[in-house]
Amino acid sequence: MQREFDVLVVGSGIAGLTIAKRLQEEHLSIAIVESFEWGGTTPNHGSTPKKYLLAAVEAKQAIQSHLGKGFDGVPQINWQQLMSYKNSQIANTSKVIQESLSEVSITTIYGNARFKNEATITVDGVDYTGKKIILATGARPRELEFEGKEHVHYSSHFLNAESLPPSITIIGAGIIAFAITNIASEIGDQVHVLQHNQRALGAFDPELVGDLITLLKQRGVQYHFDHNVEKIVQLKDDLYQLTTKEGLVFETNVVYSVAGRVPNVEDLGLEKADITFNEQGVAVNEFLQTTNPKVYAIGDCNDSPAPKLSNYAEFQANYLADVLSGETLKPIAYPIPSMSVFSNPKIAQTGIFVNEAIRQPETYEIEEIDMKNWLNYHRGNEPIARSKIVIRKSDQQIVGITSISNEADLLVNYFTLLLKMKMTKQQLRDTILAYPSLASDFSKFY
């Protein structure tokens, strides 16, 4: 087996797969190392399986909004059937991804990689060298320290649960927490959410987040802000007592922690390759290069300020492929930021976020728009549809939007393109957009 390569990629998640396939197109010899499942978290235990579960939840919620308006009843979700369907769709994901790599002559190596020196890694006792080495090892759930932490499960366990118990508890109130909450509450679970401070979805506008939380509370979700877990005690096989440092005590059938993720860097032997790292990940410069000039780090394992989301990991991978193939000599420059929440209704934002605009009142103003009675939202009996438009005062140009509705992610993606093109109001008026799509409402914003 070949042991010397132009490029060694460690990690086969979104970032690793993207750059490996891009560089293979440059006729370089590529090897990729994986220690768990080919494809990493996203297709196996992350967003992909989550989307299959959410599809059923969204279907139920759509019928629920038409109860008495065309439907006499709301069907219940059969979790076992849904899980069986989801499993059938992703059952061979890892195998298919590995085969796709082999089909384009990328060498696949299974095992744990550790640096032997600045240009060599060892996998199960075998040495491999690369002219360039790219770290794309991703991240894992953060482990919290408290008595009974061994009873805690993580999001991947939820996404693979054969059955859901009557009550679940979620530690954390970020994007993943809202996805699990949305799914579990519609299945019929009693959901408790614990957050160590007062902020849920810290990157998003707190007012719209508050609107979402109000709706989830109406569905029976119980939020406990400013609470930190002190201990979890097992009462019997499927029942636990959770106590917080602030004195809250209740019983629950399972506890899931989604309180952040930490980079997978400690076991790589980075010190043997003169690579600096910290709690945020492998230190990289503006070219995603580590302190070892032969080694780069992309995605969730590096300490760049970019959000730790799969679309940013893919962007970094494509950028680095351009650098290594000589297509660009420029430092990485991130495009207009966009992100959304797996909830229903969804919250999404792009451009200048509301939180940033609030901190710069001399530069930006914020216009609020209630869209609930607009046809695109009213016809679906949506409980809420609101947007906040960020306007630059100097030229009255729209530079950002945050929105909440069942279609907020689609609306924000349209706006991302408009912002990138810097389209003016007159240019928008000169464009005919399909009716009755969401895009047909753009004239109401400009």
| Tens digits of residue pLDDT in 81-103 | 999 999 999 999 999 999 999 99
Mean pLDDT of each 10-residue bin along the chain, 446 residues long: 93 98 96 96 93 95 94 94 95 95 96 96 97 97 96 95 94 96 94 97 96 96 98 96 98 96 96 96 98 98 95 97 95 95 94 96 97 94 96 92 97 94 83 89 86
> SS3 breakdown of the chain: % helix, strand, coil, rounded to 5?
35, 30, 40
Using alpha carbons, list the distances in angstroms from residue 59 to 62, 63, 65. Answer: 5, 6, 10
At 141 the three-state DSSP class reads strand
Q: Which residues contact 201 (CB under 8 A, 6 or more apart)?
A: 173, 174, 175, 178, 209, 212, 341, 347
Contact of 391 with 364, CB cutoff 8 Å = yes
Choose among 429, 423, 430: nearest CA to 444.
429
Which amino acid, 412?
V
Largest CA distance in the chain: 69
In sign, the C-alpha dihedral spanning 285, 334, 19, 264 is: positive
Please list the residues that pair with 194 across neighbouring strands.
171, 224
Contact of 188 with 327, CB cutoff 8 Å = no
pLDDT one-digit tens code per residue, 108-148: 999 999 999 999 999 999 999 999 999 999 999 999 999 99
At 232 the three-state DSSP class reads strand
Q: Which residue has the tokens 């979620």?
A: 170
Measure the N-to-C terminal CA separation of the chain; round to a whole number of Å: 61
- Please state the pTM of the whole predicted model: 0.94
What's the chain's length in residues?
A: 446
Q: Which two tokens stand for residue 441?
A: 């409402």
What is the Cα–Cα distance from 134 to 351, expressed in whole angstroms? 30
With 0-12 CB in 10 A as exposed, 13-18 as middle and 19+ as buried, what is 411? buried
Q: Which two tokens stand for residue 81?
A: 């059937």
Q: CA geometry: angle at 442 spanning 440 and 446, to 5°?
A: 150
What is the Cα–Cα distance from 319 to 329, expressed in whole angstroms? 10
Chain center to CA of 145: 24
Burial string for 355-376 (b: 16+ CB within 10 Å, else e) reads eebeeeeeebebeeeebeebeb
At 35 the three-state DSSP class reads coil
Please list the residues that pair with 10 across neighbouring strands.
33, 135
DSSP for 83-114, please give it: HHHHHHHHTTHHHHHHHHHHHTT-EEEES-EE
What is the Cα–Cα distance from 426 to 443, expressed in whole angstroms? 10
